């Protein structure tokens, strides 16, 4: 049983993440999407909301499950008995950060490798932060996130608009 962990913030999950999951789920027997629980970071969605959105959006992938972790990723990898870390790569700017993280993780846990999957060209520019920024200003993000996530972003936008008394 070859188990891989796909860690991240997923605030929220995008079609780019789903693409990486669809492709990596063909390479491993099981993939655990590990959502980081970082109490110091201000996320738009709560941990439970992020996990729920991932579950809803990955129902077509039977070997994908959703979990969360806090602390060091390598400790979680050992606890799960995983053989690999999956990360998506989009641009050159991703590369430096990802390289450092993969090297640090490899330094701490040499028996586990990070497997990078190149983003599909149509999702190259998608990031959760850009999606959030556009959506919270009322921009169309339906092509960038699964429908369940789009609905939740719309709800956040509506709540903010009402809270600030902004009119259409
Ligand atoms: O989606 P993100 O925010 O780019 O994911 C980053 C994540 C969660 C994979 C990374 O920050 C992480 O693994 N954090 C846990 C702490 C850790 O183990 N850091 C790496 C070695 S210092």
Instruction: For residue 135, give every residue at least 6 positions away whose Cβ sits within 8 Å of its Cβ, in sequence order, or none.
Output: 141, 150, 153, 154, 156, 157
Q: Which two structure tokens, joined as six digits, stand for 120?
A: 């599909």
Cα 167 to middle of ligand 1, angstroms: 39
d(CA 76, CA 57): 23
Mean pLDDT, the chain, rounded, equals 95
Q: Provide the CATH topology of domain 3-122.
A: Rossmann fold (3.40.50)
Residue nearest to atom 12 of ligand 1 (CA): 73
Q: Is residue 6 a contact partner of residue 21, using CB atoms and an 8 Å limit? A: yes
Place of tokens 């990898």: 77
90 is catalytic: yes
Q: How far apart are CA 106 and CA 92, in angstroms?
A: 21
Q: Where are the domains of the chain?
A: 3-122
- Give distance in angstroms: CA of 100 to centre of ligand 1: 11
CA dist 91 and 155 (Å) reads 30
The residue count for the chain:
168
Question: Residue of the nearest CA to atom 8 in ligand 1?
Answer: 8
Distance CA 156, CA 105 (A): 35
Which of residues 134 and 168 earns the better pLDDT score?
Answer: 134
Query: 86-129, pLDDT tens digit by residue?
Result: 999 998 888 999 999 999 999 999 999 999 999 999 999 999 99
The model's pTM: 0.95
Q: Which DSSP symbol is given to 152? A: H
Residue 91 confidence (pLDDT): 86
């Amino acid at each position: 049983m070859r188990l891989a962990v796909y860690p991240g913030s997923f605030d929220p999950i995008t079609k780019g993440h789903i693409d990486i999951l669809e492709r990596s789920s063909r390479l491993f027997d099981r993939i655990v999407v590990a959502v980081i629980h970082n109490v110091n970071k201000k996320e738009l969605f709560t941990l439970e909301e992020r996990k729920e959105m991932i579950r809803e959006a990955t129902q077509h992938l039977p070997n994908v499950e959703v979990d969360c972790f806090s602390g060091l990723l390598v400790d979680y990898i050992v606890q799960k008995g995983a053989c690999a870390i999956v990360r998506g790569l989009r641009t050159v700017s991703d590369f430096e950060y990802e390289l450092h993280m993969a090297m640090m993780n490899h330094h701490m846990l040499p028996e586990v490798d990070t497997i990078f999957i190149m983003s599909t060209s149509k999702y190259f520019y998608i990031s959760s932060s850009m999606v959030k920024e556009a959506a919270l200003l009322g921009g169309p993000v339906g092509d960038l996130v699964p429908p369940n996530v789009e609905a939740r972003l719309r709800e956040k936008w509506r709540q903010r608009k009402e809270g600030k008394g902004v009119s259409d």
